[in-house]
Structure 1
Amino acid sequence: MIVCDEKLGVCSVVEVDLKDELELEQPTLFYIGDPMCSWCYGMSDILKDTQEYCAKSGIKFQTIVAGLRASGQVLWDKRFKSFLKHEWTNISNKTGKKFSFEILDLLNFDYDTTPACKAVLIAKILSSNNSKIVLEFFSKIQEKFYANSQDTKKLEFYKEICEDLSLDFEEFSKLFKDKSLDKKLQNEFIFGRNLSSSFPSLILVNKKQKVNISIGYSSLEDVISRINKNLKSL
């Protein structure tokens, strides 16, 4: 079940309860989100600035996809489309991000976020997990889907994105069709939901300690202030 809270600027899924502990020597800020999470799109510019701040401050930045609507899980009906229109309008008003509503005119559409999440995972592989490239890839998916109503399930959707970021589209295509990656993707979903069941979330981890920096939409000033405050206490 997915619940969105427009006051907090967050969408949440069923929480995964795992006991595994993280132990990281370098302070790491985990961004948990989904390319087809509308509040993640609303916060995308702030997240780019956060990544740049981390790079300058010696903090590792990791984007984790957590599968907001993996395998669809939703009926494309009048009620759901009305919910999306309301949600997207509210986010646009709050953040200034552009939304196209053309996709809501489609009679049928499978709102499956798995292909977009898999594409981000492939971008990690092809870029050797370059945090800036991965986040930019993530952001470009959001722009094409939300601002231009293009379908993330189609392979050609990613061609221009790969070219813009100097990623090998031929290799991307092979991996996009490779079902052996699906298990790795599911493991990332589980890892992400273990960190947070709400998107977008920023979780700071240092050694074995974990601190919530942002659960839902936050301003850049608040994010940086919380990072600095909590780094001192970790």
Structure 2
Amino acid sequence: MTNKFLYIADPMCSWCYGFGLELQQFLADKPDAELDIVLGGLRAYNTQVMDADQKDMILSHWEKVRQVSGLPFDMSGLDKPGFVYDTEPACRAVVTAKMLTDGMPTKINLAVFQAIQHAFYAQAKDVTDELTLAEIAVNALNTYEQAAIFDVESFLETMQAPESKDETRQHFQQIQRWGVRGFPVLLLVKEDGLHMLSSGYTKAGDLTSALNDML
């Protein structure tokens, strides 16, 4: 039986970044598993320039995630003058990848999601910039496919289209309808509905235990 999972997350959510390795380990022995992503919109449409207090608060979260997960962080990512922590573009890049890979293995979109996370947290890249996002996404897609199938210009064009913006907004609205307040959330999709596997940072072993209990 093929397991189907629904992953609710935001590429610019630090605990989602921390959870990434555990999720990969959980999925490692499930090559046929399907993983759909619903984008959370953690700070979507934010227009406020980050001030010192907000920066300190976010960096304290990052430090906690770094300690718990052991993943690399480049804390200079928030040093850019006039930086606005708007997560909508990063979410929209993943939505665009989902639109362009319709019919392909769903895990390809997790590759894009995690590439954006790595670029933001480990490489201090500005993933609020659409061109930067298009370059990251296309590289992740082509690396996954081991072929130069996608190009930056076409990806960017799709990403900037009204359809992608509308689709992204629908993701955020779905999250609100479900009443999800925090990320990451991993759900098991069964015939009788959605079942919560985890909410928040969770170890791979605990995910496996929760899945076995449900099955």
The bucket for the TM-score relative to the shorter chain is: 0.7 to 0.9
- Whose strand proportion is higher, 1 or 2? 1
Pick from 105, 115, 120 the counterpart of residue 79 of structure 2.
Answer: 105
Instruction: Quote the offset at 1:205 in angstroms.
Output: 2.4
Cα pair 1:27 1:207 within 8 Å, conserved: no
Residue 25 of structure 2 corresponds to residue 49 of structure 1: yes
Within 1, Cα distance between the matches of 2:37 and 2:25?
A: 14
Structure 2 matches for 1:72-221, cutoff 5 A? 72=46, 76-128=50-102, 130-157=105-132, 158-166=134-142, 167-195=150-178, 196-221=180-205
Within 1, Cα distance between the matches of 2:114 and 2:136?
A: 13
Q: Which has the higher contact order (CA 8 A, sep 6+)?
A: 1
Q: Deviations over 1:189-221 (max 9, x none)?
A: 222344433200111121233321100000000
2:145 matched to which residue of 1? none
Q: Deviations over 1:142-169 (max 9, x none)?
A: 0111111111122331314413422332
Give the TM-score normalised by the residue count of structure 2.
Answer: 0.86
Relative to 1, partners in 2 of residues 1:73 and 1:225: Cα closer, same or farther, differing over 3 Å? farther
Within 2, Cα distance between the matches of 1:197 and 1:174?
A: 32
Residue 208 of structure 2 corresponds to residue 224 of structure 1: yes
2:7 matched to which residue of 1? 31
Amino acid at match of 1:141: I
1:16 matched to which residue of 2? none
2:42 is paired with a residue of what secondary structure? coil
Amino acid at match of 1:107: P
Give the TM-score normalised by the residue count of structure 1.
Answer: 0.80
Within 1, Cα distance between the matches of 2:156 and 2:124?
A: 21
Q: Deviations over 1:116-138 (max 9, x none)?
A: 00000111122225322100100
Cα pair 1:29 1:205 within 8 Å, conserved: yes
Instruction: Quote the offset at 1:171 in angstroms.
Output: 1.9
Relative to 1, partners in 2 of residues 1:64 and 1:84: Cα closer, same or farther, differing over 3 Å? same
Instruction: Quote the offset at 1:91 in angstroms.
Output: 0.7
Gapped runs of 5+ residues in structure 1? 1-25
Gapped runs of 5+ residues in structure 2? 143-149
1:210 is paired with a residue of what secondary structure? strand
Relative to 1, partners in 2 of residues 1:208 and 1:125: Cα closer, same or farther, differing over 3 Å? same
Within 2, Cα distance between the matches of 1:155 and 1:216?
A: 28
Within 1, Cα distance between the matches of 2:196 and 2:28?
A: 19
Q: Aligned residues, how many? A: 205
Within 2, Cα distance between the matches of 1:87 and 1:29?
A: 27
Relative to 1, partners in 2 of residues 1:51 and 1:190: Cα closer, same or farther, differing over 3 Å? farther
Relative to 1, partners in 2 of residues 1:199 and 1:135: Cα closer, same or farther, differing over 3 Å? same
Relative to 1, partners in 2 of residues 1:32 and 1:160: Cα closer, same or farther, differing over 3 Å? closer
Cα pair 1:34 1:68 within 8 Å, conserved: yes
CA-based RMSD: 2.1
